[in-house]
Every structure is written in C-alpha cells, then in structure tokens.
Amino acid sequence: MLKIVADNKIPFLEGALEPFADVTYFPGGEIDNEKLKEADALVTRTRTKCNEATLQCTSVKLITSATIGFDHIDTDWCETHQISWTNAPGCNSESVKQYVAAILALLVEEQGWQLANKAIAVVGVGNVGSKVSALAQALGMTVYEVDPPRARHEGGQRFYQLDDIIDKADIITFHTPLTKEGDDQTYHLCDRGLLSRMKPGAVVINSSRGEVINGTALKEAIESKQIGQAVLDVWENEPEIDSDLLDKVWIATPHIAGYSQDGKAKGTEMSVRAVSRFFKLGIDEWEAQNIPQPEEPEISIDCKGLDEDHIIATAILHTYPIKRDDTDLRGDVSQFEYLRGAYPVRREFHAYEVVLHNGTKALADKMKAIGFREVIVK
C-alpha cells in the first residue's frame, strides 16, 4: 500500500487519502529522514525542511506543500534526485489581502488616515501583491507596483522601479518570494539603504518571508524615526524571533497572514489533488469539507455621520480583528508556534454579507469590489 507521511497541522486533510494509502501524521518540525525512509509521498507545510538531510536514501517520490511559499524545499536537490514537488500557488492570497486590509483599517481608525490621500508601494505583484494592489486601488489609494521580473517580461508602463518611488510611498508592503541568488534576489531586499530612502514616517509591512527585511536595520530605522511604523507577520529565525524587534514594531503577528480557513482549505485541496494526479488515485477534484462558518456572518452598519473609510474599516475589522493576534503574540512570544497551531477560525471577506443602513450604492459597489459577498443598502 502507498505510504504517505503528513504534517499533523494541515486542516481538512485527515481522511482524504486514507482510502488509498497508509497515512501517518507528525508535527512538521519532527518529520526527519528516519520517518520518511519508506514513505512514497510527503504532504507538508513550511515547518519541514525538505532537503538532502531529510530526504536522502528515502523512497519519497513526491512532496506536496499546502503553502504558497516553497523556500523550505531544496528544489534543485529534489529535481536532481527525481523527487517531484508541488506547492499551492495563490491558495491563501485572499487571506493575506485581508491582513493588509486590516492594517489599512487600523490606520484609518487609530491614526486618522484618509486613504485617498495616501500612496502605497506593492513590492512583488504576484498572487498576493496583485490582490493587495487591487484592494488599494478600490480604496482610492495611489498604487505603485514594483516587480522587476514582471516588468522585464511584460514591458509596458505598469511597473515602477523601487528606487524611483521609494520616497513617495506612505506604505511599503512586501510580497516577494524569498530568494538568495540572482539579479532579483530578495534576501535583505529591505536593508539600511532602502530604509534610509523611504519617506520619513512611512509604514513598512512584511507578510512575505522574514529574511526579506534586515531586522537589525529595521530596528535602527524605527528607533531613529526614519520610518513611522512597522508591521511584521514574518520574522527572521522563526519561531525564535527577536523580542527586541517585537517591542519596537507597531503590529506583530506570528506568521498567520495566510491563516484563513478558506486559504487553508484551498492549500489542502491543492495538495490532495496533486497526490491524486501523481499516483492516479482518481480524486483530482477533491474538496475540503465542513469549513467553519463565521460567528457573525452579517455585518450591519449605520452609515449616518460616518465617512466611507470608517465604514469600510468597520466591516474589515469585523471579519478580522487583527489586534487580537498582536496581543496574543506579545502576551508570550515563546508561544509563537503554539499560536499558529491553535489559530482561531478566520473567514475571508466573501463569507460575509454587509447591510448598510443609510448607505449609498456607490459605497456598496466599492465594498463588493473589496470582496464582500453581498452588500445591501437599506
């Protein structure tokens, strides 16, 4: 019988492959060479380093990661050793968009920002960045899209050079993969030099990979007030993160930007389907079951006396009260990994209906463009 080793923190997975395989589950960090000796496939997430040390002399033929990022897979080694691998492109991109939306909502609510007067630089315009860019455009912001590989490939006027707009953006949000070589390498892309050229008081958001920002340089830039605020979901050396940096950033979360139930379900679906295609199991269209509903799927807002930014911010923060995640991490930073494993149910915008009392159709259209399933004006 087919043997599959799987990470035990992949929601919706249990039961999917059991009719076809002997499936054993372990915490991601504990999956090692010994556990993979007789495995045909590994269904994984970012916490298992899929490299020579883990994979040599095993019978693994396929790795499927239920995540967007695949920097935990030594793809060169796998390819030269006939191990196929897949990730889950785009699976939780809407969830990361919701994370950035929640930050914009906090800037409106707590710092009085008027989004139409602000500019955002989106660095990396792939699955996540393109959604963040569309969100910011729907909110009326000026958007600078920065993506050198796409700029080279697609040409045209759409993309900016980071150096040309770095001093114009009120927010710089990073959505690149982590790469350590080549012309477009992103390791420490945000370094002392880049931080020093930012508009004074700018907000830096990183939900890509921790190593895209040099944490030491970021601390200095916050201390010297070169930048106004930093928002970090991803960190160098997770889960042993720099607690001094944590104290200095405005919003700190334990790598959960992509942790909506919807994103998790899609990641699991893409993994199961990849296993099915590879081993011809006949469940190429497998779907996750029983995705939990939001506690309060209807958002009711009286718009009288409120401006559009505040109304939208209220709805966004109803779906995702991001400060809860910040408070939990600051409560005990040693619980970084536990907080990820025990993450509460979060649903994306499309799981919600909004009722606007005294609202306008124009506002309703804007909120639908952001992603809410239904927006009713009463």
Ligand X SMILES: O=C(O)[C@H](O)[C@H](O)COP(=O)(O)O
Ligand Y SMILES: NC(=O)c1ccc[n+]([C@@H]2O[C@H](COP(=O)([O-])OP(=O)(O)OC[C@H]3O[C@@H](n4cnc5c(N)ncnc54)[C@H](O)[C@@H]3O)[C@@H](O)[C@H]2O)c1
Site for ligand Y in 75-104 (CB under 6 A): 90, 92-93, 96
> Quick check: is 255 catalytic?
yes
Does 69 bind ligand X (CB under 6 A)? Our answer is yes
Return the number of the residue (45 or 97) whose C-beta is nearest ligand X: 45
Question: Would the annotation count 176 as a binding residue?
Answer: yes
SS (H, E, C) 202-271: EEEEECCCHHHECHHHHHHHHHCCCEEEEEECCCCCCCCCCHHHHHHCCEECCCCCCCCHHHHHHHHHHH
d(CA 33, CA 5): 11
45 touches which of ligand X, ligand Y, none (CB within 5 to 8 A by kind)?
A: ligand X
175 binds, among ligand Y, ligand X, none (CB under 5 to 8 A by kind): ligand Y
**Does the annotation count 81 as an active-site position?**
no
CA 115/CA 137 separation, integer angstroms: 10
Q: What angle do CA 183, 196, 136 make, to 5 degrees?
A: 75
Under the binding rule (CB under 6 A), the answer on residue 47 touching ligand Y is: no
Is residue 67 within the footprint of ligand X (CB under 6 A)? yes
The residue annotated as part of the active site, out of 45, 47, 255, 273, is 255
Q: Is 146 in the site for ligand Y (CB under 6 A)?
A: yes
Residue 298: strand pairing partners: 353
Helix (H) or strand (E) holding 149: helix 148-154
For residue 229, the partner it binds in ligand Y, ligand X, none, with Cβ less than 5 to 8 A by kind, is none
Q: Nearest to ligand X by Cβ — which residue?
A: 45
90 is in an annotated binding site: no
253 part of the interface to ligand X, by CB under 6 A: no
Residue 350 falls in the annotated catalytic set = no
Binding mask 23-52 for ligand X (x = CB under 6 A): ----------------------xxx-----
* Binding flag, residue 135, ligand Y (CB under 6 A): no
258 touches ligand X by CB under 6 A: yes
Q: Give the whole-angstrom CA distance, residue 115 versus residue 9.
A: 37
Nearest CA among 242, 120, 94 for reference residue 172: 120
CA distance 306 to 312: 10
273 in Cβ contact with 288 (< 8 Å): no
CA proximity to 4, closest of 26, 270, 76: 26
Contact of 311 with 303, CB cutoff 8 Å:
yes
> Contact, 221 vs 249, CB < 8 A?
no
Minimum CB–partner distance for residue 90 and ligand X (Å): 9
The residue from 238, 277, 287, 310 that is catalytic is 238
Q: In the complex, which residues of this chain contact ligand Y (CB under 6 A)? A: 68-69, 90, 92-93, 96, 123-129, 146-150, 175-178, 184, 186, 189, 207-209, 233-234, 255, 257-258
The catalytic site residues sit at: 209, 238, 255
Annotated binding site for substrate: 46, 67, 259
Q: In the complex, which residues of this chain contact ligand X (CB under 6 A)? A: 45-47, 67-69, 92, 255, 258-259
